[in-house]
């Protein structure tokens, strides 16, 4: 403490007859109170961008809550009115929103990084948050998805299909009975966690109920912990993160995942070391542990943490795919004419035997249907997120300060100039565009563009989208051929829960299902 302050404190305590301990307690309380309620440096808006969403509220906290409640209208209304960059106070602090026409400039510019965004927003240095460390620390995780997972798609399609059959039978077992009700988004999360784990981890670990719980829940626990910690002033986070129930839960998940995976990792290390000693080639299992281990060795990261890598697979793959799948199923129920058309398409290309990559490729109406569903119901309103690692001046003179967070929202996906009748669901939209000469690869579910950015676009476009596409198609094939679906009489298509920029199906909403007589 500087001398003059110590002197003043001493004088103050002597004058008031308060002992030293009380002064220290009072001083700590004052610092904590200031830290909690005082303005935070990280919440200070950037210069040069109008701040939207704080006009009618007094405090930063209120502005952050306003963003959580009304992100969609703040983005759409402001861009419709001004068409210009602006900033909001997101729960993470100020966030610059750039209109869609900045896409070309941002998507491949290395000065604005996706890893920087994860690092800044998700506390990757605190225990419990290690699930995003792999995506931030080095390129091993992303390369393992881009190369290992994508190249294995042919090999894993049949495994996914067989696992889907078993999972569906277990979840919806009853044959020859009337309509049953279920919370479909909860089931979908279980199914995607199970299918993805079947590919990412070896047996029997992939079926371990404790692991399956982590695979489905770590994302929720992780984001809940991040939200809770963001509400704590920056100065106090290094201490408070040890005590919040949400951060403790995330830490516990990482502990359990480590305990579950350690024996398998130790077994593999021993086996590979022995084989190397004997100069023997071994056939490694096709799973994410192998993909990450291979890339880590090639890139020179022998101490790469495969448990954290596996958690990163869950964070990236499971909720995103489950939510996209649920939205597609809701759209199917809302547009039953497509149930008939998609069943006909499946019948035309699949004999009920092995479900191959090429069968999935030929399901072009299903592909279009999924893309249309994702266009109107993306899992996030801002799929492109970056942090500027240095000051950046864009072509029109817009200056992005160093360390600023920026995002590009999905507004182009409902732009009438790009999509006639943009708000109307048209399952044939992309099928018809794809059938135009020269367009075969332009409008597939996995194709990214400035006009369809649900998987991002450019350098960081989601490398897991090919796998996600196959997983969703396999689920739809089995669901459509084996079950009839409808909404309960008293409930239409459920609206998604909108929390900030996240759009998630409401877990309380139900659908009805009935096993088809022919299945």
Q: How far apart are CA 379 and CA 505, in angstroms?
A: 9
Q: Is 462 annotated as a binding residue?
A: yes
Piece of 57-65, 205-213, 274-282, 312-320 that binds ligand HEM (CB under 6 A): 312-320
Instruction: Indicate the Cα dihedral angle 187, 188, 189, 191, nearest 10°.
Output: 90
Piece of 164-172, 214-222, 256-264, 313-321 that binds ligand HEM (CB under 6 A): 313-321
Piece of 60-68, 121-129, 314-322, 398-406 that binds ligand HEM (CB under 6 A): 314-322
Q: Which is nearer to ligand HEM, 378 or 427 (CB)?
A: 378
At closest approach, how far in Å is the CB of 101 from ligand HEM? 16
Instruction: Please give the C-alpha separations between residue 512 and each of 172, 258, 329, 494, 509, in angstroms, as whole numbers.
Output: 11, 38, 12, 13, 10
Q: Which long-range contacts (CB under 8 A, 24 or more apart) does 212-220 make?
A: 214/253, 214/256, 214/257, 214/260, 214/311, 214/314, 215/314, 215/318, 216/189, 216/190, 216/318, 217/253, 218/131, 218/250, 218/253, 218/257, 218/311, 218/314, 218/315, 219/314, 219/315, 219/318, 219/319, 220/319
Q: Which is nearer to ligand HEM, 74 or 311 (CB)?
A: 311
Helix 337-349 × helix 306-334 angle, to 10°: 120
Cis peptide before 343 (omega within 30 of 0): no
Is-contact 67 97, C-beta < 8 A? no
Q: Which is nearer to ligand HEM, 289 or 379 (CB)?
A: 379
What does R_g of the chain's alpha carbons equal in angstroms?
26
At closest approach, how far in Å is the CB of 60 from ligand HEM? 27
At closest approach, how far in Å is the CB of 125 from ligand HEM? 19
Q: Which is nearer to ligand HEM, 85 or 464 (CB)?
A: 464
What is the footprint of ligand HEM within residues 130-159 (CB under 6 A)? 142, 145
Query: Under the criterion CB under 6 A, does residue 321 sit at the interface with ligand HEM?
Result: yes
Helix 153-171 × helix 184-200 angle, to 10°: 140
* 104-133 footprint of ligand HEM as x/- string (CB under 6 A): ----------x-------------------
At closest approach, how far in Å is the CB of 313 from ligand HEM? 5
Q: How many residues bind ligand HEM (CB under 6 A)?
A: 25
At closest approach, how far in Å is the CB of 386 from ligand HEM? 7
At closest approach, how far in Å is the CB of 103 from ligand HEM? 10
What is the footprint of ligand HEM within residues 445-474 (CB under 6 A)? 454-458, 460-465, 467-468
At residue 452's C-alpha, the angle toward residues 319 and 487, to 5°, is 50
At closest approach, how far in Å is the CB of 135 from ligand HEM? 6
Q: Which is nearer to ligand HEM, 247 or 305 (CB)?
A: 305
Per DSSP, the three-state class of 217 is helix
| Structure token pair of residue 230 | 């963001």
Q: Which is nearer to ligand HEM, 48 or 458 (CB)?
A: 458
Q: Which is nearer to ligand HEM, 268 or 460 (CB)?
A: 460
* 365-404 footprint of ligand HEM as x/- string (CB under 6 A): --------------x---xx--------------------
Q: How far apart are CA 214 and CA 173, in angstroms?
A: 25
- Which DSSP category does 45 fall into? P
Q: Which is nearer to ligand HEM, 43 or 451 (CB)?
A: 451
Sign of the four-CA dihedral 325, 331, 333, 335: negative
Query: Under the criterion CB under 6 A, does residue 500 sit at the interface with ligand HEM?
Result: no
At closest approach, how far in Å is the CB of 453 from ligand HEM? 7
Taking Cα atoms as reference points, which of 133, 137, 130, 136 lies closest to residue 115?
136
Q: Which is nearer to ligand HEM, 329 or 384 (CB)?
A: 384
Q: Which residue is nearest to ligand HEM (CB)?
A: 464
| Structure token pair of residue 114 | 């996706």
Query: Under the criterion CB under 6 A, does residue 94 sit at the interface with ligand HEM?
Result: no
Q: Which is nearer to ligand HEM, 249 or 460 (CB)?
A: 460
Residues 6+ apart with CB under 8 A from 354: 158, 161
Q: How far apart are CA 460 and CA 465, in angstroms?
A: 12
At closest approach, how far in Å is the CB of 114 from ligand HEM? 4
Is-contact 167 191, C-beta < 8 A? yes
Q: How far apart are CA 282 and CA 292, in angstroms?
A: 17
Instruction: Return binding residues for heme.
Output: 462
Instruction: Return binding residues.
Output: 462
Query: Where do contacts with ligand HEM occur on this chain (CB under 6 A)?
Result: 114, 142, 145, 313, 316-317, 320-321, 324, 379, 383-384, 454-458, 460-465, 467-468
């Amino acid at each position: 403490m500087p001398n003059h302050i110590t002197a003043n404190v001493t004088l103050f305590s002597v004058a008031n007859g308060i002992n030293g301990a009380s002064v220290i307690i009072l001083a700590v309380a004052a610092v904590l109170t200031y830290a909690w309620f005082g303005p935070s440096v990280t919440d200070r808006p950037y210069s040069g961008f109008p701040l939207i969403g704080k006009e009618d509220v007094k405090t930063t906290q209120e502005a952050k809550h306003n963003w959580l409640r009304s992100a969609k209208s703040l983005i759409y209304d402001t861009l419709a009115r001004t068409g210009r960059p602006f900033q909001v106070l997101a729960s993470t602090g100020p966030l610059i929103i750039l209109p869609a026409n900045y896409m070309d400039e941002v998507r491949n510019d290395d000065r604005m990084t996706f890893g920087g965004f994860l690092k800044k927003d998700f506390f990757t240095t605190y225990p419990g948050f290690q699930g995003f460390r792999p995506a931030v620390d080095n390129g091993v995780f992303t390369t393992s998805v881009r190369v290992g997972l994508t190249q294995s798609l042919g090999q894993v399609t049949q495994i996914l299909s067989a696992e889907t059959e078993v999972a569906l039978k277990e979840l919806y077992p009853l044959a020859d009975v009337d309509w049953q009700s279920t919370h479909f988004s909860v089931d979908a999360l279980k199914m995607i966690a199970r299918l993805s784990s079947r590919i990412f981890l070896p047996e029997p670990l992939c079926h371990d109920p404790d692991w399956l719980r982590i695979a489905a829940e770590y994302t929720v626990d992780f984001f809940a912990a991040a939200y809770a910690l963001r509400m704590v002033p920056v100065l106090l986070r290094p201490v408070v993160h040890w005590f919040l129930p949400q951060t403790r839960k995330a830490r516990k998940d990482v502990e359990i995942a480590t305990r579950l995976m350690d024996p398998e990792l130790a077994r593999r290390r021993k086996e590979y070391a022995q084989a190397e000693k004997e100069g023997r080639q071994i056939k490694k299992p096709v799973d994410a542990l192998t993909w990450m281990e291979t890339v880590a060795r090639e890139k020179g990261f022998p101490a790469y943490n495969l448990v954290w890598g596996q958690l990163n697979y869950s964070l990236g793959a499971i909720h995103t795919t489950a939510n996209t799948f649920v939205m597609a199923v809701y759209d199917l129920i809302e547009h039953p004419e497509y149930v008939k058309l998609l069943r006909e398409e499946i019948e035309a290309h699949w004999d009920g035997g092995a479900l191959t990559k090429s069968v999935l490729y030929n399901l072009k109406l299903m592909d279009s249907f999924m893309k249309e569903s994702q266009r109107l119901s993306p899992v996030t309103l801002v799929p492109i997120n970056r942090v500027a690692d240095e000051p950046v001046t864009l072509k029109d003179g817009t200056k992005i300060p160093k360390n600023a967070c920026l995002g590009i929202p999905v507004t182009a996906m409902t732009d009438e100039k790009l999509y006639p009748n943009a708000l109307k669901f048209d399952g044939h939209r992309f099928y018809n565009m794809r059938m135009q000469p020269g367009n075969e690869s332009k409008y597939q579910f996995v194709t990214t563009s400035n006009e369809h950015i649900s998987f991002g676009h450019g350098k960081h476009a989601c490398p897991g989208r090919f796998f996600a596409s196959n997983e969703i198609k396999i689920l739809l094939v089995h669901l459509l051929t084996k079950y009839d679906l409808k909404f309960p009489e008293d409930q239409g298509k459920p609206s998604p829960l909108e929390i900030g920029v996240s759009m998630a199906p409401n877990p309380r909403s139900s659908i009805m299902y009935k096993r088809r007589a022919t299945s």
